[in-house]
């Protein structure tokens, strides 16, 4: 299990400039915040976490904020740093999410009540996975809409409020796509592999850096067919569908993170 060292630097090129990302300022969405500055390399932060910032034209800039699913509604703010600081406010609005019930039986119960050995493993893996979500590179690797990793129907939507074996659980932080064991999984966008591993909850998975704090993850895989550090093109084969880790059946769990926050991957698809 390896992860590339994290780089906290300003952007070197536009990531979203060639596509129109709408302002979806709700939990699990992306807030698009415009601001003016003549500074050549402004930086922006939300809760002290670096944001993707890009120049649109002349002195016009944009910052993109991934909003956590459990964020309270209401007024928030980002901090833009140049030769001075300015705080820019925005509002997080309500967005409805569905509820779904899931039942774990047999061996899968270990994911609900992990033993001591499993708990020790979870703690170690949590640090590696958190590091992958925090990854922030200077490279603008993606400059187009994302594509679905597999062209299958969604079996579980992003943000669903989950009830597992009758008990409330955390909301779903990705999209589950139906599939058969061995079916091909493609990269959603250009990028670079920053983490490969086989984890207790996620199973076999791949994390890809798309530049400026935008990360995609592909979980519960049967086989991983890429290497650590490999440069990836959109649509390139990453591996195959499986049901490793916390999975009740074969499927792909696809997550996207922006400024360390799980956002709805569908928001980056051309026809979402």
Q: For the segment 194-245, what is each residue's pLDDT rounded down to a tens digit?
A: 999 999 999 999 999 998 899 999 999 999 999 999 999 999 999 999 999 9
Residue 112: both structure tokens together: 């609900």
Closest by CA to 15, choosing from 149, 215, 255, is 215
Q: How far apart are CA 73 and CA 202, in angstroms?
A: 30
With residue 130 as reference, give the H or E element that holds it: helix 116-133
Mean of the pLDDT values across residues 50-58? 87
Q: How many Cβ atoms sit within 10 Å of the Cβ of residue 229?
A: 11
Q: How far is CA 67 from CA 64, 104, 177, 205, in A?
A: 10, 30, 23, 24
Q: What are the tens digits of pLDDT across the range 186-195? A: 999 999 999 9
Strands of 161-164's sheet in order across: 99-102, 161-164, 167-168
**Length of the chain measured in residues:** 272
Q: How many Cβ atoms sit within 10 Å of the Cβ of residue 22?
A: 10
Q: What are the tens digits of pLDDT across the range 122-173? A: 999 999 999 999 999 977 666 678 999 999 889 999 999 888 877 778 899 9
Query: Which one-letter DSSP state was computed for residue 146?
Result: B
**How high is the pLDDT of residue 4?**
42
Instruction: State the pLDDT confidence band at 5, using cuts at 50, 70 and 90.
Output: very low
Predicted structure pTM score: 0.90
Q: How far apart are CA 107 and CA 239, in angstroms?
A: 25
**How high is the pLDDT of residue 141?**
61
Q: Which domains does the chain have, with CATH numbers?
A: 10-92 (2.60.40.1590), 99-268 (2.70.70.10)
Q: Which residues contact 112 (CB under 8 A, 6 or more apart)?
A: 104, 164, 165
CB 201 within 8 A of CB 217: no
Q: What are the tens digits of pLDDT across the range 74-127? A: 999 999 999 889 999 999 999 999 888 877 766 777 888 889 999 999 999 999
- Dihedral Cα 255, 257, 262, 264, nearest 10 deg: -60
Q: How far apart are CA 32 and CA 152, in angstroms?
A: 29
Q: How far apart are CA 260 and CA 262, in angstroms?
A: 7
């Amino acid at each position: 299990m390896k992860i590339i060292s994290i780089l906290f630097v300003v952007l070197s090129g536009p990531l979203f400039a060639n596509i129109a990302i709408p302002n979806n300022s709700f939990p699990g969405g992306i807030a698009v915040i415009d601001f003016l500055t003549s500074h050549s390399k402004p930086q922006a932060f939300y809760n002290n976490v670096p944001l993707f910032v890009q120049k649109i034209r002349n002195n016009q800039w944009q910052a993109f904020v991934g909003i956590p699913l459990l964020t309270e509604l209401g007024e928030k703010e980002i901090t833009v740093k140049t030769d001075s600081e300015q705080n820019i406010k925005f509002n997080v609005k309500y967005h409805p999410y569905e509820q779904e019930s899931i039942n774990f039986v047999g061996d899968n119960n270990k994911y609900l009540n992990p033993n001591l050995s499993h708990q020790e493993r979870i703690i170690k893996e949590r640090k590696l996975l958190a590091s992958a979500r925090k990854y922030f590179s200077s490279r603008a690797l993606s400059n187009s809409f994302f594509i679905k990793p597999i062209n299958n129907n969604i079996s579980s939507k992003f943000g669903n409020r989950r009830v597992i074996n009758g008990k409330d659980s955390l909301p779903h932080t990705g999209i589950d796509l139906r599939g058969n064991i061995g079916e091909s999984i493609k990269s959603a966008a250009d990028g670079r592999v920053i983490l490969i591993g086989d984890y207790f909850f996620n199973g076999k998975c791949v994390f890809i850096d798309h530049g400026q704090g935008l990360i995609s993850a592909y979980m519960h895989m049967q086989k991983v067919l890429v290497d650590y550090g490999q440069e990836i093109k959109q649509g390139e084969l990453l591996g195959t569908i499986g049901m490793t880790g916390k999975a009740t059946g074969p499927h792909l769990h696809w997550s996207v993170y922006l400024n360390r926050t799980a956002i709805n991957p569908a928001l980056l698809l051309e026809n979402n």
